[in-house]
Amino acid sequence: MKTLIFSTAAVALVGTLGLGIQGAWSDDDDHSFSTAKWNKMKARSTGVAAVTNALYTEECGSCHFAYPPGLLPASSWQKVMAGLADHFGDNAELDANEQQQLTEYLTNNAADTSSYRRSRKIMNSLQNTNTPSPLRITEIPYFRHEHREIPKRIINLPEVGGNLSQCNSCHQHAEKGSFNEDEISIKGFGRWKD
Amino acid sequence: MKSIFPALIAAAITLLPNSALPNTQIEPSAFTAKSGEKLWNQTQTISGQVRSCASCHTSDPRQAGKHIRTGKPIKPMAPSANAERFVDPKKVSKWFKRNCKWTLGRECSEQEKADITSYLKSI
């Protein structure tokens, strides 16, 4: 009897371990740490979630860089989407159905719902400020801090356009949600190191 | 009676021949293309800024343009230079609405839209 109990426990233990190991190492391929997984982890720890919505890319990205939703809190996106008839001086009106779809996409993927590092930094920097729901990404304290050392003469280069609104003028992989410093190459200027 | 009156008017309008309604079924012609070219290059001051179609699309719609504020490249508007233009009616009406409001400060009339369309298709 004793032996039976013991062997049952042993089988159970091995089974659990086996399952555990299988669980930990089961992956889409044979490597325990695939390149894809590594890249995903790296993106999460450094960037914001990339844009995945085709309607957003089409409707918003036709006129400007399609800002990843994780760059603003949901309350900001709601304000932006409620004022499309005067969108920073442009008319960007959508039909009701598309407006609703895009508002949902933006608020569901906003900075306050994202675990990506830069989204968290953005939310932290907006805490205890007078403008917790800014309309512009360039007004976020974290954004201003990160760009504080860039001289006016660089910002005023025609290729940059006089403001910091077009992320991809300098961040070569901005479209993938990646804003690493070593990926910066300023159009009309070159590599940037601070 | 009061509630049936608007319905009667609507029915009467529906029954009218198309020619009795202004700004519908405008046939493209050299005349509308010429007016379209004029409208394309016409400038107006809106919100203190001088604006025209050419502000973003250049005065030659066969050339690529550039968004005046963001600098984002815009593909040519003339179908002769860009086969994607005037293919999707939904897209056409969306951009006419947005861009007429920015450029003219109001929506375009059906005549103006026909003029611009004929101009772009004629070059």
**Total of domains in chain A:** 1
B101 to A91: CB separation less than 8 angstroms, yes or no? yes
Whole-number pLDDT of residue A74: 98
Whole-number pLDDT of residue B39: 97
B97 to A93: CB separation less than 8 angstroms, yes or no? yes
Q: Which two tokens stand for residue A78?
A: 């709601």
B94 to A95: CB separation less than 8 angstroms, yes or no? yes
Residue B120's CB is within 10 A of a number of other CB atoms, namely 25
Judge whether A18 lies within some domain.
Answer: no
Judge whether A12 lies within some domain.
Answer: no
Give the tens place of pLDDT for each residue, B57-82: 999 999 999 999 998 999 999 999 99
B91 touches chain A (CB under 8 A): no
Judge whether A32 lies within some domain.
Answer: no
Whole-number pLDDT of residue A7: 53
Q: Which CATH superfamily is domain B25-122 in?
A: Cytochrome c-like domain (1.10.760.10)
Judge whether A38 lies within some domain.
Answer: no
Q: Do the strands B73-74 and B65-66 form a parallel or antiparallel pair, or are they unpaired? A: antiparallel
User: Which segments of chain A have a pLDDT < 50?
Assistant: 1, 11-27
Q: B34: closest CA among B116, B106, B105, B92?
A: B116
Report the residue of chain A nearest B71, measured CA to CA: A161
Judge whether A48 lies within some domain.
Answer: no
A90 to B102: CB separation less than 8 angstroms, yes or no? yes
Judge whether A46 lies within some domain.
Answer: no
Whole-number pLDDT of residue A16: 47
Q: In chain B, what are the domain boundaries? A: 25-122
Q: Does the pLDDT at position B35 exceed 50? A: yes
Q: Lowest mean pLDDT: which of A104-108, B8-12, B98-102?
A: B8-12
**Domain region containing A141:** 54-191
Q: Which two tokens stand for residue B36?
A: 């379209």
Whole-number pLDDT of residue A5: 53
How close, in Å, is residue B67 to chain A by CA atoms? 7
The model's confidence at residue B29, banded by pLDDT at 50, 70 and 90, is confident
Report the residue of chain B nearest A165, measured CA to CA: B70
Residues of B in contact with A85 (CB under 8 A): 101
